[in-house]
Amino acid sequence: MEKKVSLHSTAVHAGDRKRPQKDQAVFVPVTTPIHTAASYFYEDMETLDRVFGNEIPGQSYGRYGNPTTDALEELVTALECGPDSGAGALACSSGMAAIHMALSTALMDRRKSIVAASQLYGATLGMLAKVFEPAGVNVHYVDFCDDAALAAAIKEHRPGAILMETISNPLLRVPALDRVGALAQAASAPLIVDNTFATPLVIRPFEHGALFVVHSLTKYLSGHGDTMGGIVITKGDDLAVLRSLSRTVGFTLGPFDSYLAMRGIKTFPLRMEKQCANARKIAEWLGTQPEVERVYFPADPKHPDTENVKRLFSGGLFGAMVSFEVKGADRERVFRLMNALRMIVPATSLGDVHSMMLYPAMASHRDIAPKHRARLGIHDNLVRLSVGIEAVEDIIADLDTALHA
């Protein structure tokens, strides 16, 4: 006689772990489902053993991977490299986690030395100074827009890794990525490129010698300000090292954030095209305003890296970030401007569908000493505008009102 299962056991097991029934039609969901399981099992232990040993593909434990996250990684790899490139990706809990994973992987069994661009996101500079240097990694900073200085630094320091941004934060400098890539390859030093500001719609760093490409998924790829994440893409032996290291440190992105990022990416090219077009018109308008001392935008013919921009950027797109200096402004004046915004969101991020303004001295580069900020050209009258998909005339009207507040 079959023993009746108690309600307590039924509450734990009923409905879960369904197998396909004989003669059951196989269905395919139109979007990738959210897989929330922390662990997985198979019909026999031998299969699980082979999955653990990476002999066959499969899931075993949530820290190692997740079907939803796997789908996101496949998608971003295809965006940056194409579907048959032999590359792969690791989705991480934040963009900074992705930078950490890329640097840690690149330096594995290589010289513990980094040549880094002097123009980088403030948190990246902080990570180099507060995490990698105390761990014994020598970090050397150089202007990546100075080809001769970069070549000399690489020759002198023989780095284990080279780190840069395609468009620098927040002054929007554009190094000669193709020439940087050639220098990195000649030195057998893996080039790590943060492509968050540009996105693969504007430039694909793997085509110019990068070995690692990093994104903050939070920004343009997801694009809606509703998820936090990062991703690093690489190939070959470094991909195996990256995945092995990830199993230990556990920076893996969770399934809910992976789902939101994947959903956002479906409209990423449409959003980015609109944002780039809006940004160009806004930069041109700002350049005519007497309250504005200087505008930073890659499409500006007076941009110091205009030859690199023309050679490297595709499709007439120049990114959707615009930075500008308010004439004669101090911190109080900048606060007054930002408090006067009515549509543009004065918040700490970028790449969302809505326009956002940030004060670098207070936010992205807050932890950088004022004298160091000044040496980098980040002055107290500088603001950074992430242009959204709103009607461009409405964004300009909001800026106009704020500039006269």
Domain boundary among 200, 233, 265: 265
Give the closest residue to 31 by CA, choosing from 261, 259, 269.
Answer: 259
Domain that holds residue 287: 268-403
Question: Based on the structure, what is the number of domains in the chain?
Answer: 2
Helix (H) or strand (E) holding 216: strand 212-216
What are residue 140's phi and psi, to 5 degrees?
-125, 125
3-state secondary structure at position 76? helix
Q: Taken in order 10, 11, 12, 16, is the CA torsion positive or negative? A: positive
Is residue 244 domain-shared with residue 225, that is, in the same domain?
Answer: yes
In a domain, 45, yes or no: no
Check 42, 50, 61, 63 and give the catalytic one.
63
One-letter amino acid of 330: D
Is residue 295 domain-shared with residue 388, that is, in the same domain?
Answer: yes
Residue 75 and residue 131: Cα distance in Å, rounded?
A: 31
> Residue 148 is part of a domain; what is its CATH number?
3.40.640.10
Helix (H) or strand (E) holding 88: strand 87-92
Domain boundary among 265, 280, 307: 265
Is residue 295 domain-shared with residue 259, that is, in the same domain?
Answer: no
pLDDT at residue 8 in the model: 72
Residue 192 and residue 260: Cα distance in Å, rounded?
A: 26
Domain boundary among 244, 265, 286: 265
pLDDT at residue 1 in the model: 56
Is residue 241 domain-shared with residue 341, that is, in the same domain?
Answer: no
121 is catalytic: yes
In a domain, 7, yes or no: no
Residue 82 and residue 89: Cα distance in Å, rounded?
A: 12
In a domain, 104, yes or no: yes
Is residue 256 domain-shared with residue 327, that is, in the same domain?
Answer: no
> Residue 359 is part of a domain; what is its CATH number?
3.90.1150.10
Is residue 188 domain-shared with residue 317, that is, in the same domain?
Answer: no
In a domain, 2, yes or no: no
- Strand ranges in 255-381 using DSSP code E only, listed in sequence order: 292-296, 321-326, 356-358
Is residue 239 domain-shared with residue 322, that is, in the same domain?
Answer: no
In a domain, 257, yes or no: yes
311 is catalytic: no
Point out the residues of the chain with pLDDT beneath 70: 1-2, 10
259 is catalytic: no
Is residue 185 domain-shared with residue 322, that is, in the same domain?
Answer: no
Is residue 235 domain-shared with residue 348, that is, in the same domain?
Answer: no
Is residue 223 domain-shared with residue 192, that is, in the same domain?
Answer: yes
In a domain, 22, yes or no: no
Check 40, 70, 121, 398 and give the catalytic one.
121
In a domain, 189, yes or no: yes
63 is catalytic: yes
Is residue 223 domain-shared with residue 112, that is, in the same domain?
Answer: yes
Give the closest residue to 211 by CA, choosing from 181, 171, 244.
Answer: 181
Residue 130 and residue 132: Cα distance in Å, rounded?
A: 6
Check 40, 70, 173, 219 and give the catalytic one.
219
Query: Backbone dihedral region of 46: left (phi > 0), alpha (psi from -120 to 50 degrees) or beta?
Result: alpha
Residue 161 and residue 163: Cα distance in Å, rounded?
A: 7
Check 40, 70, 173, 194 and give the catalytic one.
194
Indicate whether this model's pTM tops 0.85: yes
Is residue 259 domain-shared with residue 308, that is, in the same domain?
Answer: no
- Quick one: DSSP state of residue 39? B
In a domain, 27, yes or no: no
